[in-house]
């Protein structure tokens, strides 16, 4: 089946909400990579999603806010913390585009353990901070020793002007408008859909980057400054129940 179009709004709704949250103060850092380099890293039943024959690896630091279950209110302290993910882009046999997380750093231990136990997501407990001063924002992360080697890094970004819709092109939509995730739960691959409002996107300049999370996630050949840097103040998000991916 042909993949669903990449659109700024979700191509489907979520009838039964199982999880709510807000993603805020995000920076999207992206590097192009050959699809063959990431294909072995994806769950069974999925393949690399591509734009003009190229796929991408993303490093995305942000603040998770107010995680809530079902339609209950979000939990202020437990559900709010800095997070950083290393992600790839996937499409399954039904044409559903998604994200595959290679690693997720989070500053709260209980959400880390919960996500590992339920969806087998590769969360790591880390010491993290987000420092915003004017139009500059600095993200730092370092895994706790209990999580193995102390991988982490620092990203320092200057936020620029907001991008009008006419300037949000195919690449920006491909990298940010992902309406679900693919993950392996045991021998099964599942797809977890989400919906949210349109991304407010801003141009951004990367002032400094120290990172070994991308290499630790199985992508040691991704080097140099990322060609794509975007910032967003964030969006509220709703997740629907997972469904099985045919393999």
Mind listing the pLDDT tens digit for each residue in 162-176? Answer: 999 999 999 999 999
Predicted pLDDT of residue 7: 85
Answer yes or no: is 76 within a domain. Answer: yes
Quick one: CA torsion of 55, 239, 184, 41, rounded to 10 degrees? 10
Q: pLDDT confidence of 78, banded at 50, 70, 90? A: low
CA 37 to mean position of chain CA atoms: 19
Task: Identify the pLDDT of residue 224.
Answer: 92
In contact, 196 and 236? CB cutoff 8 Å: yes
In a domain, 127, yes or no: yes
Tell me if 247 is assigned to some domain: no
Whole-angstrom distance, CA of residue 105 vs CA of residue 152: 9
Domain-located, residue 25: no
Domain around 157: 50-232
CA distance 71 to 236: 13
Count: domains in the chain = 1
pTM of the model: 0.95
**What's the number of CA atoms in the CB half-sphere (13 Å) around residue 232?**
25
Q: pLDDT tens digits, residue range 209-227? A: 999 999 999 999 999 999 9
What are the tens digits of pLDDT across the range 31-71?
999 999 999 999 999 999 999 999 999 999 999 998 887 66
- The CATH number that applies at residue 58 is 2.40.400
């Amino acid at each position: 089946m042909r993949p669903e179009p990449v659109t700024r709004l979700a191509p489907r709704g979520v009838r039964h909400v199982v999880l709510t949250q807000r993603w805020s103060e995000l920076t999207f850092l992206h590097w192009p990579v050959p699809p063959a380099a990431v294909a072995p890293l994806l769950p069974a039943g999925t393949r690399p999603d591509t734009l003009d024959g190229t796929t991408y690896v993303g490093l995305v630091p942000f603040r998770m806010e107010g995680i809530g279950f079902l339609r209950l209110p979000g939990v202020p302290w437990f559900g709010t913390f800095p997070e950083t993910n290393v992600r790839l882009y996937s499409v399954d046999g039904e044409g559903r585009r998604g994200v595959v997380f290679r690693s997720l750093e989070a500053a709260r231990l209980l959400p880390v353990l919960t996500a590992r136990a339920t969806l087998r997501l590769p969360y790591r407990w880390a010491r993290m901070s987000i420092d915003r001063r004017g139009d500059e924002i600095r993200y730092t992360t370092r895994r706790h020793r209990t999580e193995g080697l102390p991988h982490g890094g620092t990203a320092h970004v200057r936020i620029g002007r907001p991008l009008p819709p006419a300037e949000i092109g195919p690449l920006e939509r491909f990298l940010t408008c992902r309406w679900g995730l693919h993950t392996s739960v045991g021998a099964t691959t599942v797809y977890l859909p989400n919906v949210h409002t349109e991304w407010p996107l801003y141009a951004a300049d990367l002032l400094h980057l120290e990172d070994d999370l991308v290499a630790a996630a199985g992508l040691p050949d991704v080097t140099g400054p990322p060609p794509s840097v975007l910032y967003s103040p964030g969006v509220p998000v709703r997740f629907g129940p997972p469904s099985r991916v045919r393999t």
